Amino acid sequence: MNVQEICNQIKEKIDSVKTIQELNNIKVEYLGKNGIITELQSKIKEISNEEKKEYGMKVNEVRTYFNNLYEEKNKSLEEELLNQKLENEKIDITLPATKVRVGAPNILECIVEEVEELLMSMGYDVVDGPEVEEDRFNFELLNIPKGHPARDAQDTFYLKDDEILLRSQTSPVQARVMLSKEGKEPIRMICPGKTYRRDDDDATHSHQFMQIEGLLVDKDISLSDLKGTFDVIAKKLFGEDCVTRFRPSYYQFTEPSVETDISCFNCHGKGCNICKNTGWITVAGAGIVHPNVLKNCGYDPEVWTGFAFGFGAERLAMLKYGINDIRTFYNTDLRESITFDRKEAE
C-alpha cells in the first residue's frame, strides 16, 4: 500500500470540493461501508502476522490524514456558508424606518369620558340604558302621550307595532333610573349613549348619534343649580373664560325648559363663523323636571324637585375639535388617522 499516493489522492479530492454535500460524498467514498479506507482495514485479516502491525499503522495514518483534512474542509465550508447567509440577510440599517400607523382614541369617546369624569367628581353615577326601548319609557312616562304632536318632531324608528323602538333620545334612562329608586332616594346620574332618528344624513345630521343625558333629583333644586352645574361643565370643556346663558325653550319633560348656550370659545363673544356671528353656541337642552314626569316615575313632586339636561355628544366634539361634518365620526376613512414615525412614537 502506498500511503503517500492515497493521501495525495485524498488531498486532491478534498481540495476540489465546493459544497458540504460533495464533501460528504467523499466521506462515504472513503469511510462508508464499502469505502476505500474501510476496505483497506478489512484486508488486515489477509495480512501475515509479521506485517500486520505495520499495515495497521499505515491504514491508521491514512484514516487520520483523511479525518484531519475532512474536518478542516468541513469547517471552512461551514464558515463560508455562514458568511454567505449573513451577506444575503444583511440588514441595511441606513434605510429609513417604516412608518407605523398607530391607533388613536375616537374623539367622541374622549369627550364622553371627559364629561363622565367631571360629573363623577361631582357625585354623579354613570348609567346605561337599552337602545331598543319601549315606547312607554321613550315617550309616555316623559309626559309625551300617544298622539302628542311632539312625537312627530322625533321621527322614530319603530321596530314592532307602536311599542318597541330604537330610542330617539337618552331621556328614557331618566324614567328607568327614577323607577328603580322607587321615589325614595336623591339621584345624580348621567347616561351617555347612542340614539336614533329617521334623519337624512348630512353634515350636521346622522340617523345614529350620541347624547349625554343628565338627571339630578333632590329637595329644593332650582334652575340656579342647573346653571351652576353648566358653568362648571362649560369651563372644564371649553376653558375658564367660558360663560353660559339660558334661553327659554320647550320640552315636554321639563318645565321650565331652556336651551343652554356657551359663549363662543373661538371669538369670545365678538362673533365669528363658528357661532354664526351671535357670540353664543347652543350645546344642550335642559330644564326643571316636569312634575308629571316625577309623578309618572314614582317621585312625589311635592317633596322632590330636579333638573335634567341632554347634550349632543357629536356637537360637543365637533365644536371642541373643529370638525365640520358629523359623518366623520362614523365612516371608516383612515386618511385622517394619525401617522407617526417610529421615532416620534417613542
Residues that bind ligand DAH (CB under 6 A): 169, 171, 213, 251, 254, 285-287, 308-310
Task: Tell me whether residue 192 or residue 287 sits nearer to ligand DAH (CB atom).
Answer: 287
d(CA 122, CA 211): 19
Task: Tell me whether residue 26 or residue 260 sits nearer to ligand DAH (CB atom).
Answer: 260
* C-alpha dihedral sign at 337, 342, 343, 346: positive
**Residue nearest ligand DAH (C-beta atom):** 310
- Dihedral of the CA atoms 168, 170, 176, 182 (nearest 10)? -130
Structural contact between residues 316 and 294, judged by C-beta atoms closer than 8 angstroms = no
Task: With both helix axes pointing from N to C terminus, report the angle between 223-238 and 107-121 in degrees, rounded to the nearest 10.
Answer: 130
Smallest Cα–Cα separation from 253: which of 156, 133, 151?
151
Smallest gap from Cβ 153 to ligand DAH, in A, equals 9
Smallest gap from Cβ 144 to ligand DAH, in A, equals 10
Smallest gap from Cβ 171 to ligand DAH, in A, equals 4
Task: Tell me whether residue 103 or residue 123 sits nearer to ligand DAH (CB atom).
Answer: 123
Smallest gap from Cβ 282 to ligand DAH, in A, equals 11
Grid cell in block for residue 169: 333620545
- The strand ranges marked E within 77-170 are 100-101, 125-126, 132-134, 158-160, 164-166
Grid cell in block for residue 115: 364629561
Task: Tell me whether residue 62 or residue 188 sits nearer to ligand DAH (CB atom).
Answer: 188
Smallest gap from Cβ 285 to ligand DAH, in A, equals 3
Smallest gap from Cβ 276 to ligand DAH, in A, equals 20
Given the DSSP bridges, would you call strands 208-218 and 125-126 parallel, antiparallel or unpaired? unpaired
Task: Tell me whether residue 22 or residue 199 sits nearer to ligand DAH (CB atom).
Answer: 199
Task: Tell me whether residue 53 or residue 198 sits nearer to ligand DAH (CB atom).
Answer: 198
